[in-house]
A and B are shown apart, each in its own frame.
Chain A
């Protein structure tokens, strides 16, 4: 049962890991994107739309295309969301909180609207959006996983997107600390005026990190539908995972490598009530509070410690205008 628990925790954690890695990348540029929840919905539904049309129209499904098409659609959808946010907050210097919340309203609405109306709009005669074939292609796991016993189950039994999530988190972490470009990005988030004076193109860094961050977060939505939900889209099914991803950013004190373990911990906290015998329905709900409560505790502790390295990027939430005086 422990193995099953860990497996489920990982599966729960992966969407959060995508979301938080994307959000960390965005926040390191000094932009707090509260639209991540919306972006993840859009990333999910765009993948579904792509997969839906491919599954409906292709006579013989090619498993490579079955993965590639939803993936590309997800990327395009999330990138557009990121672009809208960047355009408003970076170029037009709009308030980041308001823009982010509007983006979430829009994104969640977009997801639920197309989730609920896709069949009607496409005029196809199917009872519900169930992409079981596409989902199967996404869920292909490593062939040798079941031959390795418990180790295989815990480490190698997941679909490829799970490994992509971990790889992206590691790459982003290395990017921050081991590359020149990462140094510049961190400078933009800490002190854009300094970065600007040092010749860093602040706007470009913000745009790129916001859009890439959105794409990564969007994968979280895609993974959720294709893997966790087995290709079945249900409205609001994704729930509050987008906000949980933002919580995870704080928990990981803006470090994607901590986020990897954090996501599994959060995933575990999210489902632990299923594994404790004798809990009432109500008590189970109380257990679901744990990730948020833990985040608040971390937030309070880092603010009390006052250690500079643990603080959010210094210019988080502020827009930058070079000629401000």
Chain B
């Protein structure tokens, strides 16, 4: 007897305004099966799963659970069909304890009694080997503790279809293998699991089947047993892409930015950067590799003058005067007033680099509005600059007066990178500059960075795609839990070498503090 699939999606389409997030996606998951959904950033994996979780509602298409057509209007409907999703951005209430978060939204029979619930939850924890203080408040927890709470929440609810959205992005290798063991146990219980990821090794390790999405379009599904990395990559990116990024060799490099022994603790007093040392040189692209959230963001923001360090110094080597100037505890404005041209393309483009509600011209004005003694903002130069960037970088926009929030991700990034490069920087820091961009836009960004390098700029590039880091950069600093675990020569390294350094974890002595 052929069992009906646990989940079947038929021709699901979802659009946001003019952006097509999913187009005619169809896939199936059987009982006791682990399906990976593989795709690059921005390929529509999360959107698709959010429609199963009741967060979004499809424009077209049907969803079948155990062979019956269902309509999932809300997360509540989703639960009713036994679906539990663990979102990448945790859906937890910060001021609640773990227990309160876990029982939230569960219709249990009997009286509301947190102590009783805690006992039942404890059983699940013991069964799967989770170690967690259930009365701890979420805002006091680490990222991996929060994820554990999320997983317990779904398990406690007794979901038989689990969706995990990039669950390993924030985990150490040890935690990851623990998670995979849990997943295998659940599979044995006959549960269906969908795991969203873009890490090929995980796909091959854990899943039975792989479905691939590319730019919102469903490409196909194959059994993991028949797959290998090159087949999957090809499905993911279309044709097999040899990145072929050009890399020039620059002579006469000099030290431009010397990071000496810097440490940073966040507001809650948690140590984020621990005695970081490296030097960025002129005429090179210095890559920074690491698992998401290892301190990359804080590192760049510290250099840009946005965070107060607890120790160390950031020395700018002024080639003209031969003096070394310390940028520590200087504000962005002070740095600019010192005549140091430091450009920064932050990770959060609309939340930090640009103002979403302002038009392109006003966003160009950000860097230059202070110039001159007049009390009024000078608009001529920014207008010219906006038109120049729109033309040179082929920004698709109705006009220079369009608010940037209406532009697509790639065009937003061109506006931001364009502005930062046009400031003629001596140091250019970019964080995940090609995230969410199509191939063409990505290559345009790479060549812009290369151009800067050839002009003698010191480029610091925080990236996530190791292939890109290896082909684009000259040297790569690997950061792990806020510490530098190694600096490698990009021309003579391998993905494996960097991968090992990335997951090295904290050195023993620093943990004792």
Contacts and interface: CB of A to CB of B under 8 A. Distances in A.
A179 B56 contact: no
A176 to B, nearest CB: 12
Contact of B74 (A180, A191, A201, A311): A201
Contacts of B355: none
A200 interface: yes
Nearest to A306: B267
A314 interface: yes
- Of B85, B93, B112, chain A has the most CB atoms within 10 Å of the CB of B93
B105 A184 contact: yes
B504 interface: no
Contacts of B93: 186-187, 190-191, 194-195
Contacts of B75: 196-199
B376 interface: no
B316 interface: no
- Of A183, A198, A311, chain B has the most CB atoms within 10 Å of the CB of A198
A147 interface: no
Interface in B112-145: 112, 137, 139
B95 A314 contact: yes
Contact of B104 (A200, A311, A322): A200
B76 interface: yes
Given A190-B95, A196-B75, A308-B137, A325 B104 contact: no
B226 to A, nearest CB: 35
A325 B350 CA distance: 12
Contacts of B96: 183, 186-187, 190
B155 interface: no
A197 B112 contact: no
Give the interface size class of chain A.
20 to 34
A240 interface: no
A72 B360 CA distance: 57
Contacts of A323: 55-56
A191 B94 contact: yes
A199 B106 CA distance: 8
A187 B104 CA distance: 8
B385 to A, nearest CB: 30
A197 B139 contact: no
Interface in A184-210: 184, 186-187, 190-191, 193-201
Contacts, number: 70
Contact of A180 (B53, B91, B112, B139): B112
Contact of B16 (A187, A196, A325): A325
B137 A183 contact: no
Contacts of B264: none
Given A191-B94, A308-B95, A201 B76 contact: yes
Contacts of A180: 103, 108, 112
Nearest to A325: B16
A314 B92 CA distance: 13
B87 interface: yes
A199 B74 contact: yes
Interface string B58-86: 00000000000000001110110000010
A178 interface: yes
B347 interface: no
Interface in A137-188: 178-180, 183-184, 186-187
B100 interface: yes
Contacts of B55: 196-197, 322-323
Contacts of B74: 196, 199, 201
Given A197-B75, A199-B74, A190 B94 contact: yes
- Of B55, B78, B92, B105, chain A has the most CB atoms within 10 Å of the CB of B105
Given A187-B96, A323-B56, A197 B103 contact: no
A172 to B, nearest CB: 16
A199 B73 CA distance: 11
B94 A197 contact: no
B95 A198 contact: no
B112 A194 contact: no
- Of A194, A200, A322, chain B has the most CB atoms within 10 Å of the CB of A194
Contacts of A193: 91
A309 interface: yes
Contacts of A187: 93, 96, 104-105
A197 B95 contact: no
Contacts of B137: 308
B94 A308 contact: yes
A180 B106 CA distance: 9
Contacts of A322: 55
A240 B76 CA distance: 43
A194 B105 CA distance: 10
B406 to A, nearest CB: 14
A276 B340 CA distance: 66
Contacts of A199: 74-76, 78-79, 105
A195 B94 contact: no
A193 B79 CA distance: 16
Nearest to A191: B93
B94 A198 contact: no
Contacts of B95: 190, 308-309, 311, 314
A117 to B, nearest CB: 46
Contacts of B91: 191, 193-194, 197-198
Contacts of B87: 197
A199 B96 CA distance: 17
Nearest to A179: B112
A270 to B, nearest CB: 32
Contacts of A191: 91-94
A196 B415 CA distance: 35
Nearest to B153: A198
B93 to A, nearest CB: 5
A309 B139 CA distance: 11
Interface in A287-312: 308-309, 311
B105 A198 contact: yes
Interface in A28-86: none
Nearest to B104: A198
Contacts of A195: 93, 104-105
A305 B96 CA distance: 19
A254 to B, nearest CB: 11
Nearest to A180: B112
A184 B94 contact: no
Contacts of B104: 183-184, 187, 194-195, 198, 200
Contact of B53 (A179, A194, A197, A325): A197
A183 B104 CA distance: 7
A26 to B, nearest CB: 18
B358 to A, nearest CB: 20
15 contacts: A179-B112, A180-B112, A183-B104, A190-B94, A191-B92, A195-B104, A196-B74, A197-B53, A198-B75, A198-B91, A199-B78, A200-B104, A201-B74, A314-B94, A323-B55
Interface of A: 178-180, 183-184, 186-187, 190-191, 193-201, 308-309, 311, 314, 322-323, 325
Given A195-B105, A197-B75, 10 more contacts: A180-B108, A183-B103, A184-B104, A187-B105, A190-B93, A191-B94, A194-B92, A195-B93, A308-B137, A314-B95
Interface of B: 16, 53, 55-56, 74-76, 78-79, 85, 87, 91-96, 100, 103-105, 108, 112, 137, 139
The 7 closest A-B pairs by CB, nearest first: A198-B105, A199-B76, A194-B91, A197-B91, A199-B105, A180-B112, A190-B93
